[in-house]
Amino acid sequence: MVEKRVAIVTGASSGIGAVTASRLAADFEGIVLVARRADELQKTAEQVRAAGAEPFIVLADLLEADAAQRIILETVDRFGRIDALINIAGAVPQVNIFEMSDVQWLAAMEVKFHSARRLTMQAWPHLVSSRGSIIFMSGTAAENPKPAAAAIGAINAAIDALSKAFAEQGIADGVQVNTVLPGPIMTGRRQAFLEKIASSGEVTMDQAAQSFLRESRIHRFGQPEEVAELIAFLVSPRARFITGTAIRIDGGEIKGI
pLDDT tens column, 117-148: 999 999 999 999 999 999 999 998 898 888 87
Residues 75 and 197 in one domain: no
Alpha carbon 243 to its chain centroid, in Å, reads: 17
For residues 74 and 134, membership in a common domain is answered with: yes
pLDDT (tens digit per residue) in 233-243? 999 999 999 99
What percent of the chain is predicted at pLDDT more than 90?
Answer: 68
Residue type, 38: A
Same domain, 126 and 194: no
Q: Both 90 and 111 in a single domain? A: yes
Kindly state whether residues 115 and 191 are assigned to the same domain.
no
List the one residue out of 197, 192, 229, 234 whose CA is nearest residue 212. Answer: 197
Mean pLDDT across the stretch 23-52? Answer: 97
CATH of the domain at 244: 3.40.50.720
Same domain assignment for residues 54 and 132: yes
Instruction: Tell me: pLDDT of 52 over 60.
Output: yes
Q: How far apart are CA 105 and CA 117, in angstroms?
A: 17
Count how many domains the chain has. 2
Least confident of 71-80, 86-95, 195-204, 245-254: 195-204
Same domain, 181 and 66: yes
On the 0-12 / 13-18 / 19+ scale of CB atoms within 10 A, 149 is buried
In a domain, 227, yes or no: yes
Residues 79, 38: one domain?
yes
Task: Give the full edge-to-edge strand order of the sheet including 6-10.
Answer: 54-59, 30-35, 6-10, 84-87, 133-137, 176-182, 245-249
| 110 Cβ contact partners less than 8 Å away, ≥ 6 residues apart | 63
| Residue 215 shares a structural domain with residue 226 | no
* Residue 153 in domain: yes
Report the distance separating Cα 190 and Cα 32, nearest Å. 25
Average pLDDT in the chain? 92
In a domain, 257, yes or no: no
pTM for the model stands at 0.93
Range of the domain at 216: 186-221
Residue 255 lies in a domain: no
Determine, yes or no, domain membership for 15. Answer: yes
Whether residue 46 lies inside any domain: the answer is yes
Look at residue 254 and tell me if it is in a domain. Answer: no
Average pLDDT over every residue of 94-114: 89
Query: Is residue 204 very low, low, confident or very high in pLDDT (cuts 50, 70, 90)?
Result: confident
The pLDDT of residue 211: 81
Contacts of 199 (CB under 8 A, 6+ apart): none
**In this structure, are 15 and 41 located in the same domain?**
yes
Model confidence band, residue 165 (pLDDT cutoffs 50, 70, 90): very high
Domain co-membership, 88 together with 56? yes
pLDDT over threshold 50, residue 1: no
Q: Do 123 and 212 have their domain in common?
A: no
Burial state string for 23-48 with b = 16 or more CB within 10 A and e = fewer than 16: bbbebbbbbbbbbeeeebbeebbebb
Q: CB-based burial of residue 199 (10 Å sphere; 0-12 exposed, 13-18 middle, 19+ buried)?
A: exposed
Is residue 256 in some structural domain?
no
